[in-house]
Structure 1
Amino acid sequence: MPTITSFTISYYALNKDRTFSEGDILTGLLTLNLEKEIGIRSLFVKVKGDADVYWTERSSTITSYSTHRRLFKMKQCLIPEETQGTVLPPGSHVFKFSFKMPERGMPSSFKRNHGKVVYKLEAKLSRGWMMDRMVEKEITFVSKAIPNIHRLMLSHISSTDKHLGIFSKGSVHMDVIVERRAYAPGETMKIVAKIDNSSAKEMTPKFSLIQDVVYRANKHAKNESDIVYKKHGDCIDPKTQMEITCAIKIPPDQMTTIQNCDIISVQYHVKVCLDVSFSFNPEIQFPVVIIPFDLSPDHSPRGDSDPALASGAQYNVDSPPLVAHSGIFGYPTAQGFAAPPPGCPGNPTLLGMSGIYPTQASNMTQDYNSHQSFNTFRTVPVNRPVPSASVRTTDSVSQSDEAPPSYSALFPSCDTNF
């Protein structure tokens, strides 16, 4: 029978989608179940974010490119090493921790074949000469740091004129109008194209929403483009004027735009073109931004979050609901509530050792519909007083000396094209 029967970490959800954003409070529990008494040198939990890029190119030789960015790291000691060892008796021991996510802009969670942006909780139990025990859980981060978002909510119009050249007589003029350039997953973008075909050729309008992903490493870049949506309109006869409306629905699981990471970017653009045989096709392209749902002007409360969370109601400690899974990286809707659950202090509490577990909110469920009950916490005798858990919340602890990119450099305010 092993001495440690389970060592788990879990966190409290702020919304149904279990996502976090800048400035949110991340609170959770670290649970240690023991079959026998053990001595512990230290116990800590940390939250961190990392971005990685990696790909291989084959020509006459095989060349690999990779780079890493530490976005931030914060650590809390639940049993500091300064105690020179602590003895825990058999039973269940539950430790609480709490972090405030950095308020500066960080990229949303992302995973693809050649790169990823990952946020995770990680706990480590050290027992001296025994092998360390570690546990980790990924969390989903959705960035709300969208610069100049008010400009993206304005209507946009682009135009093009084109002479069709040697194999055709005449010209074509096209205006493309959209009500705004920022949309949330699940919303519908309405595009109006006004076409004046003054040529002798017939033509077919085509509408596309395209995702562009760029990975950067060692002064090299790798580009990927995927068509999210594509549709053809009706054929436009020669010497004809026509207005065509196309509705593009953003997929509900579409990942948001990433522009605040220097090694990975995810951007979108709309392309409207006129397919003309034996001629260069007239086209218009303009960028669009996929934003979290609650930043959209069409956002309204969806009723999918626990009403008790919004009202700040108090709950029984014997059923502190936990999130057992951190979700998939598909960019679900960002939370509407950024405040910490009631009764969650900024510093962690060592349950059964340094105090009594504070009252918590009952919205903290595994799936927002069911509750998971825990045994009553017992006072844990130790062979020496355990000091209060120390907190180290230094932001942007990097593994290298390279400073994080300047936000103003990534998003210059004087940009008039986007």
Structure 2
Amino acid sequence: MGKLKLVIFEVIIEDEDAELFRPGDIIKGYVRIVCSEPKKGIRGIQVKFKGNARTQWSEEEKADDDVKYTSKEKYFEVKKLLAGRDESYEDADLCLNTGEHKFPFSFHIPQIPLPDPFEAEYGHVRYKVMSKIDRPFKFDHVTQKFFSIVGVGLDLNTISEQAGTPKKDEIEKRICCLCCESGPIRVSAETDKCGYVPGEDIWVTGYVDNQTRLAIVSCSAKLMQLVSYRARRKGVGKEHVKKEKRKIASVEGEGCDGVSTLTFEGKPIIVPACPASGLVGCSILDIEYYVEFEADVRGTPFDAIVKIPIAIGHVPLSSAFSPVTDNARVITKQPSSINLTIPPSYEVAVGGLQEIPSKSGYDYTFGKLMYAPRYPYYNFHLESDIVEHPGHEVPQGFYGPFGPSMFGPDPHHYP
């Protein structure tokens, strides 16, 4: 007999469109193998269900050129034998004949708190089904299928007082121009509240008082994701923390000339599909969010930036969609009425599909393995029109120092 040629080797999950589960659900599907000719020498067909988190990066050190920092966290790992024998046997007497073969499986996801799936450069949380054609004394063939789990997340109603309250902050910056110190740039910014869900609008109002001779090229409001990765030197040493910030959404506005002012408002940031704050259930990865309002000063890298921590949840505030007023100032631009009984859709993560490289180098996945987590997403704009509330008050003077927040450290300490 000639060498086994696999025409198809794949994991099929029932309800292929969803591939989205919750703790306690049962995953059903089958391993599909198509051979162009019969082949002996197979010990068994196995399947493994795995949920884990991993962090990893490298740092240059004096004693070692390239030192790895790694940590792992396992949520579940279950193996099942679908056909043949397991690795404890030396015999390989299973034969796959020419044609198609299907090996059904089912798996009960543990009823335990599980974190959202997550993909980033220095770490991930992944849930997958792996199948292996076990061939003793030869390379095994491996294929895998990723799926998403609706994690613990965050119900904003559990922090309703903080999440529903507007937040504002300010900064004053002085810039040296042509060896002479100019007047200050005063920048203040405010969000309509501090808690949002994917699909919801973040309304940002900004004010710039530019007393320098330099023009402000533009202003922007950005939704930033700050990821903290925890890992140990060579997997066993002292724990280190690496931080990575990523822009996941933004809106742009005009600038202004020197010695002038401008107001930035009326442009919402739509929160994209993303994991909830905290990545609850994972101890080696943490996620925070903040809104960054930036005034880009012409000819200098020293821009004026205000940072306001916010929370991203999976469950919206029940009171989030009634106009909120603060004396005579309207600070909410959210839709005036939403049917909260409509469940969210589950959308592909911001950034779209990413290639998952083969760990072993001989995975039989028929090309690149592409995957993106999916998260709850509320299609607010399909249910009602955005209500524009005129009369926004331009912030006057300066706001006091930003105090401690449950959403993260002082925003001035963000990298």
TM-score range, shorter chain: 0.5 to 0.7
Deviations 1:21-63 (A, max 9, x none): 4333211112355755858654432111232222222254423
Q: What is the match of residue 58 of structure 1?
A: 60
Q: Are 2:193 and 1:193 aligned?
A: no
Q: Whole-Å Cα distance in 1 between the matches of residues 225 and 159 of structure 2? A: 18
- The answer to whether the Cα contact below 8 Å between 1:189 and 1:247 also exists between their aligned partners in 2 is yes
- The answer to whether the Cα contact below 8 Å between 1:18 and 1:326 also exists between their aligned partners in 2 is no
- The CA deviation at 1:73 is 0.5
1:53–1:292 CA distance, 2 compared to 1 (3 A): farther
Greater fraction of residues in strand: 2
Partner SS state of residue 150, structure 1 = helix
1:281–1:301 CA distance, 2 compared to 1 (3 A): closer
1:6-405 aligned within 5 A:
6=6, 8-14=9-15, 16=17, 18-32=19-33, 35-36=37-38, 38=40, 42-60=44-62, 61-62=64-65, 63-79=67-83, 81=85, 90=97, 92-126=100-134, 131=138, 133-151=140-158, 154-160=163-169, 174=188, 176-179=190-193, 181-184=195-198, 187-193=199-205, 195=207, 206-218=220-232, 219-228=239-248, 229-233=250-254, 235=256, 244-251=265-272, 259-260=279-280, 261-272=282-293, 281=304, 283-289=306-312, 291=314, 300=342, 328-333=370-375
- The answer to whether the Cα contact below 8 Å between 1:270 and 1:288 also exists between their aligned partners in 2 is no
- The answer to whether the Cα contact below 8 Å between 1:33 and 1:93 also exists between their aligned partners in 2 is yes
Q: Whole-Å Cα distance in 2 between the matches of residues 292 and 13 of structure 1? A: 27
Equivalent position amino acid for 2:312 in 1:
V
Equivalent position amino acid for 1:121 in 2:
V
Q: What is the match of residue 392 of structure 1?
A: none
Deviations 1:211-249 (A, max 9, x none): 222222111122222223253355499897957233112
Partner SS state of residue 156, structure 1 = coil
- The answer to whether the Cα contact below 8 Å between 2:227 and 2:288 also exists between their aligned partners in 1 is yes
Equivalent position amino acid for 2:153 in 1:
I
Q: What is the match of residue 348 of structure 1?
A: none
Alignment gaps of 5+ in structure 1: 306-323, 337-414
Q: Whole-Å Cα distance in 1 between the matches of residues 38 and 119 of structure 2? A: 41
Alignment gaps of 5+ in structure 2: 176-180, 233-238, 321-337, 348-365, 379-404, 409-415
With structure 1 as the length reference, what TM-score do the two structures score?
0.57
Q: Whole-Å Cα distance in 2 between the matches of residues 285 and 302 of structure 1? A: 26
Equivalent position amino acid for 1:330 in 2:
A
Q: Whole-Å Cα distance in 1 between the matches of residues 182 and 267 of structure 2? A: 28
Deviations 1:121-165 (A, max 9, x none): 2233446x5647443213132433113432466423123466778
Task: Give RMSD over aligned pairs.
Answer: 5.0
Q: Whole-Å Cα distance in 1 between the matches of residues 254 and 49 of structure 2? A: 49
- The answer to whether the Cα contact below 8 Å between 1:209 and 1:230 also exists between their aligned partners in 2 is no
* Identity across matched positions, percent: 19
- The CA deviation at 1:98 is 0.5
With structure 2 as the length reference, what TM-score do the two structures score?
0.58
- The CA deviation at 1:331 is 2.9
Partner SS state of residue 110, structure 2 = coil
Q: Whole-Å Cα distance in 2 between the matches of residues 22 and 325 of structure 1? A: 31
Q: Whole-Å Cα distance in 2 between the matches of residues 119 and 25 of structure 1? A: 14
1:298–1:58 CA distance, 2 compared to 1 (3 A): farther
- The CA deviation at 1:270 is 0.9
Q: Whole-Å Cα distance in 2 between the matches of residues 120 and 290 of structure 1? A: 24
1:272–1:234 CA distance, 2 compared to 1 (3 A): same
Q: Which has the higher contact order (CA 8 A, sep 6+)?
A: 1
Q: Whole-Å Cα distance in 1 between the matches of residues 33 and 372 of structure 2? A: 31
Q: Whole-Å Cα distance in 1 between the matches of residues 42 and 174 of structure 2? A: 80
Q: Whole-Å Cα distance in 2 between the matches of residues 138 and 158 of structure 1? A: 42
- The answer to whether the Cα contact below 8 Å between 1:256 and 1:292 also exists between their aligned partners in 2 is no
Work out the number of aligned pairs and report it. Answer: 318
- The answer to whether the Cα contact below 8 Å between 1:257 and 1:291 also exists between their aligned partners in 2 is no
Q: Whole-Å Cα distance in 2 between the matches of residues 29 and 38 of structure 1? A: 21
Equivalent position amino acid for 1:18 in 2:
E
